[in-house]
């Protein structure tokens, strides 16, 4: 009788433990998710002519009237877009946003004071570069999500075929903690194809070599660093410059030190972020180091989840010469009331709570 009782008790305990394990397995894992984005702000200049720059050629200074009105409308437009990137999945604005084509820190101050961003705890990292147009890159970040450890700019040293120094944007490296995980962000705006893609290719190849040098230095200084290189590269994912950088389009073959570009497959499927010279291009991209790619769905630390182009209908021109293209701000020395000639891009990073 006692043996039967013991056996019955063991069976009950076993069934109870099985039920607990089964229920635990059935519970959905909870994840924390953050958006990392990049946006070309299309000539975000102020209304003041700086005699030390060639900003007199900027679209806003070409306006004959209503410069101030156009400026603050442009500011609000940019802020609205930034505030919405990735929000449908996270419920909040991006943790980190790389931007380019900004004139100075003054326009960044106005951007963060706009009604769309003023209560979102954003700050920024910016340093003036020697770009001939007077435009720079910068990093916006939510101080409640990301804390700065250090930052540094890298100047591209290149010359044209006439022996003149090419003045272009610096590459900005920002290192900081995303929820106590150290992540390194490189913000890029590589030299344009002005003058012809083939004639200027050497400049983007040199930019790729500079980017690679920054990444190699990070691998030398840190053990298994998590690196995100993002920006307007003025090249498509299949361009020569990305071969120089050593970027892979297949995350299943990544090795230690490799870089993965989730936008390569999107480009092959016909997705784009801008129209340039009547061609569809995907110049805006976000590239990730191998250790941001999850293996066996291990999300104990932040890993790449998904890449997207942010292109709601209001960001696309509905008529005219640029119908179907991003709804740009400037055209024929007028302010259109639009946004940018580029769509923003973004990735989600996730980890288990």
Cβ(342)–Cβ(42) under 8 Å?
yes
Cβ(293)–Cβ(260) under 8 Å?
yes
Taking domain 30-352, whether its CATH number is 3.60.10.10 is answered by: yes
Indicate the pLDDT class of residue 2, thresholds 50, 70 and 90.
very low
Cβ(140)–Cβ(124) under 8 Å?
yes
Structure tokens at 134: 């007077």
Q: Is the pLDDT of residue 153 over 90?
A: yes
* Burial of 1 per CB tally in 10 Å (0-12, 13-18, 19+): exposed
Cβ(191)–Cβ(205) under 8 Å?
no
**DSSP label of 251:** G
**pLDDT score for 59:** 93
**pLDDT score for 25:** 46
Helix (H, G, I), strand (E, B) or coil at 332: coil
pLDDT 10s digits, 283-342 = 999 999 999 998 877 899 999 999 999 999 999 999 888 899 999 999 988 999 999 999
Q: Which residue has the tokens 């073959």?
A: 253
Cβ(281)–Cβ(294) under 8 Å?
no
Indicate the pLDDT class of residue 124, thresholds 50, 70 and 90.
very high
Cβ(227)–Cβ(186) under 8 Å?
yes
Indicate the pLDDT class of residue 50, thresholds 50, 70 and 90.
confident
Q: Is the pLDDT of residue 5 over 50?
A: no
Give the chain's mean pLDDT.
91
Q: Is the pLDDT of residue 240 over 70?
A: yes
Structure tokens at 207: 């930019």
Cβ(59)–Cβ(115) under 8 Å?
no
Integer Cα distance of 250 and 252 in angstroms: 5
Cβ(186)–Cβ(173) under 8 Å?
yes
Helix (H, G, I), strand (E, B) or coil at 146: strand
Helices marked H in the chain — which ranges?
2-26, 59-62, 67-84, 87-90, 105-113, 197-221, 240-245, 263-268
Q: Is the pLDDT of residue 3 over 70?
A: no
pLDDT 10s digits, 201-234 = 999 999 999 999 999 999 999 999 999 999 999 9
Structure tokens at 307: 């890449």
Cβ(111)–Cβ(45) under 8 Å?
no
């Amino acid at each position: 009788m006692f043996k039967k009782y013991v056996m019955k008790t063991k069976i009950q305990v076993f069934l109870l433990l099985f039920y607990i394990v089964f229920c635990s397995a059935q519970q959905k894992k909870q994840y924390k998710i953050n958006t990392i984005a990049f946006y070309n702000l299309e000539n975000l200049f102020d209304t003041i002519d700086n005699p030390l720059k060639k900003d007199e050629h900027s679209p806003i200074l070409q306006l004959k009237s209503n410069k101030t009105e156009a400026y603050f409308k442009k500011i609000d437009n940019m802020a609205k877009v930034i505030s919405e990137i990735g929000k449908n999945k996270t419920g909040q604005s991006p943790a980190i946003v790389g931007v380019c084509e900004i004139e100075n820190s003054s326009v960044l101050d106005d951007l963060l004071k706009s009604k769309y961003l003023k209560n979102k705890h954003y700050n920024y990292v910016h340093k003036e570069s020697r770009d001939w147009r007077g435009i720079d890159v910068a990093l916006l970040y939510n101080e409640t999500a990301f804390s700065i450890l250090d930052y540094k700019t890298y100047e591209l040293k290149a010359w044209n075929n006439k022996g003149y120094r090419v003045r272009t944007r610096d590459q900005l490296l920002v290192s900081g903690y995303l929820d106590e995980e150290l992540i390194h962000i490189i913000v890029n705006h590589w030299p344009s194809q002005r003058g012809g893609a083939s004639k200027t290719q050497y400049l983007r190849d040199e930019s790729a070599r500079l980017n690679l040098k920054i990444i190699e230095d990070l691998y030398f200084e840190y053990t298994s660093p998590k690196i995100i290189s993002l920006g307007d590269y003025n090249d498509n994912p299949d361009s020569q410059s990305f071969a120089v950088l050593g970027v892979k389009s297949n995350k299943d073959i990544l090795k230690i030190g490799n870089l993965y570009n989730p936008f390569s497959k999107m480009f092959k499927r016909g997705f784009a972020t801008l129209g340039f010279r009547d061609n569809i291009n995907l110049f805006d991209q976000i590239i990730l180091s191998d250790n941001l790619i999850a293996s066996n769905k291990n999300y104990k630390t932040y890993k790449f989840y998904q890449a997207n182009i942010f292109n709601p209908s209001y960001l696309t021109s509905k008529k005219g010469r640029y119908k179907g293209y991003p709804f740009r701000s400037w055209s024929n020395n007028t302010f259109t009331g639009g946004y940018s000639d580029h769509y923003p891009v973004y990735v989600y990073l996730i980890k288990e709570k």
